[in-house]
Structure 1
Amino acid sequence: MNADTSGREAMASSTPVDISAGPRAVVGTAAELIYKVGRSVLGAERMPTARANAWAAVCADQERARIREEDARVLLAAR
């Protein structure tokens, strides 16, 4: 075997390179940094949480339902 053939065989049997690993690491580090800065600026007790976001969504849904009921009641009264 010559050196040219064995070099190609070595390259063909190597594992593939994950080109998305670098960008994922950068995004992960940036997200962590943004979280830490936000926590230090806002304070731990004022940081948005999944629970707070879910509660805000529930409240918004209830408000929309209240408005729909009121609109339906006004529409029915106008007939």
Structure 2
Amino acid sequence: MSDTQPSGLVEIPRSVLSIAVGMIDTVERVVIGDANVRTARRNAWEAICADRARADRHNEVRRLISQLSVGSSPRSRASQAAVGPSAGRRAARS
């Protein structure tokens, strides 16, 4: 027996696969247009943009949280004063 496979059995699947990939690529370009075909470069750019947007949202949330620190405004101090005594009375009743 020979250690090598007959080339005919291997070449048929490769050629069929090659034709199928070429046909899928052609159909994609026809259906969605050349400008909308996904590429590695376009995928990388979209990932960079998504990371930047996520970082911007994260920074905005941090900024908002820092502004909402307890006692930073007269309104929050008034609400703290109103909640404080009633919370103490509820604890005393229990």
TM-score interval, smaller chain: 0.5 to 0.7
> What is the percentage of aligned positions where both structures have the same residue?
37
Question: What is the number of equivalent residue pairs in this alignment?
Answer: 63
Higher relative contact order (CA 8 A, sep 6+): 1
Q: Distance in 2 between matches of 1:27 and 1:75?
A: 55
Equivalent residue runs for 1:3-14 within 5 Å: 11=1, 14=2
Based on CA coordinates, which of the two structures has the bigger radius of gyration? 2
Deviations for 1:48-74, whole angstroms, at most 9, x for unmatched residues?
Answer: 222211111111010000001011111
Match of 2:51 in 1: 61
Aligned: 1:75 with 2:41: no
Give the secondary structure class of the aligned counterpart of 2:48: helix
TM-score of the two chains, using structure 1 as the length reference: 0.61
Match of 2:89 in 1: none
Q: Distance in 1 between matches of 2:17 and 2:64?
A: 50
TM-score of the two chains, using structure 2 as the length reference: 0.53
Which amino acid counterpart does residue 38 of structure 2 have in structure 1? P
Match of 1:41 in 2: 31
CA root-mean-square deviation:
2.2
Give the secondary structure class of the aligned counterpart of 1:15: coil
